[in-house]
Structure 1
Amino acid sequence: MDSLSQVALGAAVSVACMGRRTAVWKAALVGAVAGTLPDLDAFIDHGDAVANMTLHRTESHALFWLTLAAPLLAWATARLLREHQHFRAWWLAVWLALITHPLLDVMTVYGTQLGLPFTNHPFGVGSIFIIDPLYTVPLLVGTGVALARRPPAGLRWNAGGLVLSTLYLAWGVGVQQHVRGIAEASLAQAGLQAERLLVTPAPLTTLVWRVVAVTPDNAYHEGFYALADRLKQPAPRIGFQRHDRGMDLYPAAQAVPNVARMAWFSHGFFRLREEGGQLYITDLRMGQEPFYTFDFAVARRQGEGWAPHPAENEMARVPLREGLQWLGRRMLGEAAAPPY
């Protein structure tokens, strides 16, 4: 999730844990800092764009390492604030602020390696977009009221914000499964067999969803579904647009280390293309056709093969105005074509 959401979650969790044991501002500040710490790995430059992407959310997001770090950070907090008598409470508060960070991140589609050092699998539920105001606002309001009002009223607001934000996460998972069912039925009606199926929300909302189906003919099919579509159609059906994955390039390209790494990290949701003698690999999970957050140039043509070079990200963003207009129309159930 975005940094503001992680700050808000860490602060809210810490305030809930510490209760009346310390000043609310102290609990909120410590929680906000602890909730931010895992993302400091984003400042590490590994010298390659693919490495920077796939090594983000690794050890600093691993539940095992964060659990080991929690008592040390709690001891430093208790010592700095001269609250040694509350060490155990600070331990719990810091630990929860730390581990809720990767647990929230895993709800996005990116990929969080929270099982290290036991497994490097990049977990990603994909039921919430990386920025979603309906998740973050209840946390900000709850903690803000807790800072402004005296306990216990302020603490109740903080707890309420945590409950609402957690319920919103549950809502996202439920809607994701609902849309998956509609997507599977739509694919079957279209005579398409999906080897892999991705269902993830559009930016800023869980009212519009993007579906990507990878099919055995080396293509991927993209479609969109809005919850309001059911108001327009009793039995809504998702329409899909077919795109080539460039898998004819894969036999030679799979020897390129960054191609193999992206194929693993994206769980197979990738495409390849050649432009101007350059080999590109695109992560199909983040973005929408033809605009993708991670589109890497990874090798140059060398005879029948490829000469790897440090990856460069050719990110393309959806035009803001056109994208927001399309999103608003789709949220209302209008059959608007996505911006291209």
Structure 2
Amino acid sequence: MVHAVHVSGACAIDNLTHSLVGALLGQAGLKKKTGLAMPALIIGANLPDVDAACFFWLEGAEHLGFRRGITHGPPALVLLPLILAALLWGFDRWQASRGNRPEGRRPVSFKWLFLLSFIGCLTHPALDWLNVYGIRLLEPFSSQWFYGDTLFIIDVWLWALMGFATWFSMRRERQGGEWIKPARWAIAVSLAYIGMNGLITAKAEGQVAGAKKASAVAAEQIIASPLPVAFWNREIIEGNGYGDFFIDGDDVGAAALLPHCNLDEAAARDKEITAFLFWSRAPFVTEDPERDGWLLRDARFYDPLARDRFSVKLPPWSCVQVYPAYSGGGPTVVAVPEPPDD
């Protein structure tokens, strides 16, 4: 059995951001539609992450092949809001039957509870799509991954903007002032900020592609990965199609090239490797620091603070050592390793 190495903490947009989006939508006027509107919006904005429960039954890297999928696809985005609306409606009825329903709560409309839960749920995959981690938007109809490459998982600028706007709007509401417009302005500015980041990514990828074309060196894959805090910068990840990846020009995958690894056989023998390869967008192989095998990594998460949480240990027989030596534009050809007889 091959064991994963510290694979935990899947990277999609954080739940504080999701919650702030739901709260801002409520402060923008939607919470006036029905009682319990704010719980519908805020919980709904986080609800697709119910797939985090998979940590109770999946081991190591297996969650990478499960999360950001079935609960983020079209059927779930209808079913989950329906369940949430029913629970909130039932909660309101239960409180009323016990005589402790808050007097200031607006009448509860099941129709609006569902619509607001639905709106909240829709914001979740929209935000998750914005980073490099990826999301399977069409599950269960398609397992294709989609990537926005626009925002870092935790964007402190969005936190500051939406957090302040939510607080300010609620404060104005308590004081009897205009509270809807500040929230709407914050939503507009947030959308403009996201759009600007999308343009930064597109420009960075275009510049790299143009430089490669001018030098007659094609890059099979280019990822402009957003950075924390410094939203105006991008980490450039380039793949050459042979399992070598370059991060800001530094080669991180030359110790063992993917064509020289029998990953199909390794995956057939271990579910965690299968899940990692299904999830990975930029897989490459390095030597295990303990010198007893290989590590399968992803170039998107090769930062020292993240790399060990996104790696899977491969058995010693899975790869052969190949140092950077190219002939005719491709890697040196060696025999693909074979697993030992069981």
- What is the TM-score with the length of structure 1 in the denominator? 0.75
Q: Displacement of 1:41 after TM fit?
A: 2.2
- Could you say which residue in structure 2 is the equivalent of 1:185? 210
Runs of at least 5 residues in structure 2 that lack an aligned partner in the other structure:
1-12, 94-105, 319-336
Contact (CA 8 Å) 2:130, 2:148: kept in 1 or not? yes
Q: 1:300 to 1:201 in 2, by over 3 A?
A: same
Cα distance per residue 1:40-84 (max 9 Å; x no partner): 322422432221222121222223212122233223323433566
Question: Distance in 2 between the 1:277 and 1:105 partners?
Answer: 36
Change (3 A) 1:71 1:248: closer
**Does residue 244 of structure 1 match 2:253?**
yes
Root-mean-square deviation (CA, aligned residues, Å) is: 2.7
2:244 matched to 1:215? no
Aligned residue identity for 2:283: F
Higher relative contact order structure (alpha carbons within 8 Å, sequence separation ≥ 6): 2
The alpha carbon displacement at 1:294 in A equals 4.1
Q: 1:44 aligns with which of 54, 60, 66?
A: 54
Mean Cα deviation higher: 106-115 or 269-278 = 269-278
Equivalent of 1:54 in 52, 65, 76? 65
Corresponding residue for residue 326 of structure 1? none
Q: Any conservation in 2 of the 1:41–1:60 contact (CA below 8 Å)?
A: yes
1:30–1:57 Cα change, 3 Å = same
1:195 and 2:195 equivalent?
A: no
Q: Given the superposition, is the C-alpha separation of residues 294 and 192 from structure 1 closer, same or farther in structure 2, using an over 3 Å criterion?
A: farther
Task: Give structure 1 stretches of 5+ with no counterpart.
Answer: 224-239, 308-340
Select which of 103, 106, 110 maps to 1:87. Answer: 110
Is 1:8 aligned to 2:33, yes or no?
A: no
Task: Give the structure with the larger strand fraction.
Answer: 1
Task: Quote the residue 1:21 is aligned against.
Answer: 33
Name the residue aligned to 2:102.
Answer: none
Select which of 164, 176, 184 maps to 2:201.
176
Paired residue total: 288
Aligned to 2:85, the other structure's residue is in SS state helix
Q: Residue 107 of structure 1 aligns to which amino acid in structure 2? A: L
Is the counterpart of residue 147 in structure 1 residue 159 in structure 2?
no
Distance 2:177 2:187 in 1: 16
Distance 1:154 1:104 in 2: 25
Residues 145 and 157, structure 1, Cα contact 8 Å, conserved in 2: yes
Aligned equivalents of 1:183 and 1:290: distance in 2?
26
Residue identity matched to 2:186:
G
- Cα distance in structure 2, aligned partners of 1:52 and 1:136: 27
1:265-284 correspondence runs (5 A): 265-267=279-281, 269-275=282-288, 276-284=291-299
CA shift, 1:206, in A, is 1.8
| Secondary structure of 2:132 counterpart | coil
- Show CA shifts across 1:92-147 (max 9, x none): 21101112111100111112122111111121211110011222322222222232
Give the equivalent residue in structure 2 for 1:311: none
Once structures 1 and 2 are overlaid, which stretch shifts more, 180-189 or 53-62?
180-189
2:43 to 33, 54, 57: 33
The residue that corresponds to 2:192 in the other structure is 167
CA distance in 2, matches of 1:96, 1:74: 12
Would you say the 8 A contact 1:219–1:243 is kept in 2?
A: yes
User: 1:256, 1:299 within 8 Å by CA — same for their partners in 2?
Assistant: yes
Who is 2:119 aligned against?
A: 96
Instruction: Answer yes or no: is the 8 Å Cα contact 1:105–1:112 preserved in 2.
Output: yes
Contact 2:125 2:135 in 1 (8 A): yes
